Chain A
């Protein structure tokens, strides 16, 4: 109950203003690819996605005023995701390595999105 009292005490930010910022960021992320520069597209797409997610988590989910262990546990599972990526990515993203290869990648057109095209590049 003390938590409820604490939650009721916190001052609410201007939610409409935050929503407006999120909409402007959305517009920027949509406009990014129109410039036609790959780096700009990546920044406007994924950089802005991170900023938008932060704004929603902080201002709408109020994660910054929750008990300290809540952001900690969220960060922990995100780190687990990074570990998962780091551990699995080399196996998924390479078609061959020391004493192993993925014959299906080289022979089967069904193994990837359009490997026939990709095969032409390698």
Chain B
């Protein structure tokens, strides 16, 4: 075994501190995204005009990206399963599939935003589009951050090192998936 940092070798509150930290991040993120989405819902309910603006978003692109994130969550949890079985190479391979999903999501989103901006829907166009770009943009930053962290985790896992981190990044990734699960109906379906 390699020398392990205290964050993973010490247990706090009955959990490895690394896992406790990930859950702490997640509950903090729930407040951030929850506040944003709650504010969006308030405005959405107060302004029928929101639905007119939402009509310009493309549901099929949103649905495709939802499928991509759900599939990347599958590979992330299969990577966790492989890591638990001690198969670091398989875990690393599955994490790279997850990273592929992350970048597919971001590429699709960049094309989608380019199209929308070219048609005059910018962050300053209206309150709806301000929410749209803020919420989806913040989420996209989380996707990018997750992808970068997964590269480090996959590199170590391929050498059968720090396999517990596969689960930790997986939990974060599933949370990013859950946020999108709520963003999708709010921004693309409720028109």
A sample of 11 cross-chain residue pairs with beta-carbon separation below 8 angstroms, ordered by A number, consists of A3-B16, A7-B84, A26-B67, A33-B191, A61-B175, A74-B30, A77-B34, A84-B38, A112-B47, A113-B47, A114-B52
Which chain A residues in 102-120 approach chain B with CB under 8 Å? Answer: 112-115, 117-118
Whether A70 lies near B70 (C-beta < 8 A) is: no
Whether A60 lies near B73 (C-beta < 8 A) is: yes
Q: Kindly state the separation between the CA atoms of A30 and B65 in the bound complex, as whole angstroms.
A: 13
Q: A67-B15, A114-B126 are known contacts; what are 16 more A-B pairs with Cβ within 8 Å?
A: A4-B16, A19-B74, A23-B70, A26-B66, A26-B67, A29-B184, A33-B191, A45-B185, A46-B185, A56-B181, A69-B13, A76-B27, A81-B34, A112-B46, A112-B49, A115-B49
Q: Name which of B38, B70, B78 has the most chain A CB atoms within 10 A of its CB.
A: B70
- Give chain B's interface secondary structure class: helix
A-side residues, CB < 8 A to B, are 1-4, 7-8, 12, 15-16, 19, 22-23, 26, 29-30, 32-33, 41-42, 45-46, 48-49, 52-53, 56-57, 59-61, 66-67, 69-70, 73-74, 76-78, 80-81, 84-85, 88-89, 92-94, 112-115, 117-118, 121
Chain A residues closer than 8 Å to B30, beta-carbon distance: 74, 77-78, 81
Q: Is the C-beta of B171 less than 8 angstroms from some C-beta in chain A?
A: yes
Q: Which of A48, A57, A92, A113 contacts B50 (CB 8 A)?
A: A113
Inter-chain residue pair count (beta carbon < 8 A): 150
Q: Kindly state the separation between the CA atoms of A26 and B43 in the bound complex, as whole angstroms.
A: 25
A21 to chain B minimum Cβ distance, whole angstroms, is 10
Whether B38 lies near A85 (C-beta < 8 A) is: yes
Chain A residues closer than 8 Å to B39, beta-carbon distance: 88, 92
Q: Which of B38, B48, B177 contacts A81 (CB 8 A)?
A: B38
Contact indicator per residue, chain B 13-54, by CB within 8 Å of chain A (1) or not (0): 111100100010011001100110011011101111110110
